[in-house]
Amino acid sequence: MRTIKVSVVALLLAGLGACAVEGVGYDGDVGVGVGYVGDYYEPCCGGYGGWGRGYRVGPPRGGDRGPGRSAPSIPSHGRSGGGGHAGGGRGGGGGHR
């Protein structure tokens, strides 16, 4: 009888444990869910920091050219068409590597 009790308790704990895992996510480290691919929360949080005057994250604007091949820009023509790489694309400084 005692053996049966122990077995039942062990089975119950195992079953509950399995239920608890459900929904934790594909990767508990970053919180990716098991449902929609792309369902995640980022690790939190940290300050965003002060971006110094020279800290620039945007794309270069076409037109400036440094030595060698320079960084391209983003597309500049609208959906109405007109111009392939016009204004976007090549130019902007920086060195190719």
Partner 1 sequence: MTRNIYLALCIVVAALPTARAAGPRTAAAPIELPPLVQPASGETHPGKVIWADLVTPDLKQAEQFYGALFGWTFEPVGGDTNSAIALNAGQPVAGIVQRAMKAGQQRQPAWLTFIAVRDVAAAQRSALANGGKLLAGPKDYAQRGRQAVFADPDGAVFAVLASSSGDPPDVLAEPGEWIWSSLLVKNTDHETGFYRALFGYDVFELPPEESSDNSHHVILASDDYARAGIHSLPADSVHRHPHWLNFIRVDDAAAVAVKAIALGGKVLVEPREDRHGGQLAVIADPSGAPVGVMEWAGPEEAPDAVTDQPDLPGAQKGAP
Which has the closest alpha carbon to 72: 56, 41, 95, 49?
Answer: 95
Please state the φ and ψ torsions of residue 61, each to the nearest 5 degrees.
-95, 135
47 sits near partner 1 (criterion: CB under 8 A): yes
Using CB under 8 A as the binding rule, whether residue 6 contacts partner 1 is answered as no
Residue 38 in the binding site for partner 1 (CB under 8 A): yes
Q: Which amino acid would we find at residue 36? A: Y
Interface with partner 1 includes 55 (CB under 8 A)? yes
Nearest-approach distance from CB 20 to partner 1, in angstroms = 11
Question: What is the footprint of partner 1 within residues 75-94 (CB under 8 A)?
Answer: 75-79, 83-94
Give the number of residues in contact with partner 1, rule: CB under 8 A: 80
Are the C-beta atoms of residues 12 and 20 closer than 8 Å to each other? no
Residue of 95, 53, 44 lying closest to 70 (CA atoms)? 95
Cβ pair 65, 58 in contact under 8 A: no
Shortest spacing between CB 13 and partner 1, in angstroms: 9
For the bound state, the minimum distance from the C-beta of residue 63 to partner 1, rounded and expressed in Å, comes to: 4
Q: Is 2 in the site for partner 1 (CB under 8 A)?
A: no
